[in-house]
Structure 1
């Protein structure tokens, strides 16, 4: 970490910068229709973010398999069905497995679904004794009883405040969640997770233009979608990918790359997620690459302290989700994630949504705190800190219902 770094939290100190136009190609061709967006502009932006930011996936799987490990038709006091599904992916005679925890409402018909990662194990999202505890490495978190990088019974249900599961079920939505550490442990070692399946002999790190951890987490969300779209109790046309913080970055990239996701929710995703990099407000590209050198492709480091050289910014990542619904959310006390930069990204992605006749964020003036704008592109900033709250989920559920019902 650079000990000399002092984050800018003063809006008056944000230097003027040139923001790339999402509707102008790198060769200065103006995009006037949704067709030309899809044929010309979208592919070159995908290529930029893939090769320079998140990194390319170096190949395709040899096999994927699904196995139901546990299920119940009377979970949550009879309110929901629970299913725990092991996904095993194989490449180069090596394999990795992760567990999807699903809760689905008990009703006739297929349920829409929120799909996203959790930070400390499936067993933390609700106090349900039947949820299997992962054996994967974990970041320590003494506040919920995680020490020695081991997940234990002590932390069961202690992150339930971040998952309004009962509200989802009562509104007719299901939840699918995965412990992200089963995909790639969140540490600077790219030999102990998903990446190692794709390595050539003797390789210990991805090539400069290949995926870091965020790219791996995003890619595995699509493998979860491979299962979900074949689950007869899930409406595969209404699966919304969700993520908070670093996992919000992964959700945005997954949603940009995989158009099977019907919508995307970014909760406090900040630098490298929804926030405009060129503002250099709060966390910067150099800081995120120095503190987490394994999250992005090695190529992304060329923009350390050089955001002005970025030919694309994060509003164009958001625009890659068009015309599908997108929700960007911020927290008032989370200045590190640059709430205004997150809001402006949604605003500046709006012209692309307009090409498709979809409503976005027309004004560049931020809404008041706890005053959501809920169009196809939605935004809110709520009171409080960097977190996921019941208030956030109330807005997401309301918005999803308006967008998809």
Structure 2
């Protein structure tokens, strides 16, 4: 697995916070920087031939803006961990653990594998003295937002968890039954989740859990969920309601979760508690606006904790 890491110059003076996420098309797609090696592993058909996609997804990764705000960014191609097609779990990381014939009904799928990979990158970040490993956020968009939430739920080393348009089996309540359903996600992507999940196709009410419980597993750490008003497939209202219903768990820690039960208007972020949320104008995407909201949220929680008597404490 090849991790690409950009750090601001301030890393020469003190360790800096980092936002970690997986990308879809290979590291070379996030910036036109010719020093980024072309990804040699699995790439979806839409990103081939790889050489033609250098920098094509740069708008999703505003590296200069992140560096200017004092944040590093770490990213890797999700296909380095597990290919995103139903291969019978013979390729990728799964094959190193159990043979396909030995898989149980609750064995991990691709989303679990991508989450596992995010934790392995965290293993590395803990060893890098330029990185403040106490301030690493895990972030993901769409299916990789599902993976980021699962990684954050399992690995408490991630100090903040961010879901961008993660939808069904991500941040959106399954019982809300709007947008993509459990049956649809299992039919379209049978390799993403365990086989037992298919028992709940068209039977969301039979689920023993729902997605607000996944959000609540981040407590007491800050978590942020974002939607887009034209991304109805990801069910923005269901994503917001997960945040609302996760809030009582933060009360157990004497922390404010979501400070309102009223869904905000577009481009009106809520970031005054330990659960942040916004729904922006637009479609299913990861935009500079989203990143700006995430950095504002991180500033609120991380920079405040780094200050005492008006002075910044070096890590």
Please, what TM-score do these two structures have when normalized by structure 2?
0.93
What's the offset of the Cα at 1:363?
2.5
Give the RMSD, CA atoms, in angstroms: 1.0
Indicate yes or no: 2:117 matched with 1:220.
yes
- For residues 342-368 of structure 1, the C-alpha deviation after alignment (integer angstroms, 9 at most, x for no partner) is 000001000001111222213321011
CA–CA distance in 1 between the matches of 2:302 and 2:250? Answer: 17
- Aligned ranges for residues 113-262 of structure 1 at < 5 Å? 113-141=18-46, 146-147=47-48, 150=49, 152-189=50-87, 190-200=89-99, 203=100, 206-262=103-159
CA–CA distance in 2 between the matches of 1:215 and 1:206? Answer: 14
Poorly superposed stretches of 4+, deviation over 6 Å: none
CA–CA distance in 2 between the matches of 1:355 and 1:373? Answer: 21
User: Number of aligned pairs?
Assistant: 299
2:166 match? 269
CA–CA distance in 2 between the matches of 1:113 and 1:316? Answer: 26
Rg larger in structure: 1
Contact 1:187 1:294 in 2 (8 A): yes
Please, what TM-score do these two structures have when normalized by structure 1?
0.73
Contact 1:332 1:381 in 2 (8 A): yes
CA–CA distance in 2 between the matches of 1:273 and 1:316? Answer: 11
What's the offset of the Cα at 1:207?
2.1
- For residues 174-206 of structure 1, the C-alpha deviation after alignment (integer angstroms, 9 at most, x for no partner) is 000010011001000111111011124xx3573
1:323 match? 220
What's the offset of the Cα at 1:220?
0.8
- For residues 317-355 of structure 1, the C-alpha deviation after alignment (integer angstroms, 9 at most, x for no partner) is 000000100000000100000000000000100000111
1:349 match? 246
CA–CA distance in 2 between the matches of 1:208 and 1:133? Answer: 37
Specify which structure has the higher proportion of helix.
2
What's the offset of the Cα at 1:136?
1.2
Specify which structure has the higher proportion of strand.
1
- For residues 282-339 of structure 1, the C-alpha deviation after alignment (integer angstroms, 9 at most, x for no partner) is 1000000011000001111111011001121000000000010000000010000000
- Aligned ranges for residues 27-106 of structure 1 at < 5 Å? 98-106=1-9
CA–CA distance in 2 between the matches of 1:305 and 1:235? Answer: 44
Q: Tell me, what secondary structure is at the counterpart of 1:287? A: helix
Please, which moves more after superposition, 161-170 or 335-344? Answer: 161-170
Structure 2 alignment gaps of length 5 or more: 304-315
Structure 1 alignment gaps of length 5 or more: 1-97
2:308 match? none
Indicate yes or no: 2:301 matched with 1:403.
yes
- For residues 86-112 of structure 1, the C-alpha deviation after alignment (integer angstroms, 9 at most, x for no partner) is xxxxxxxxxxxx100000011210010
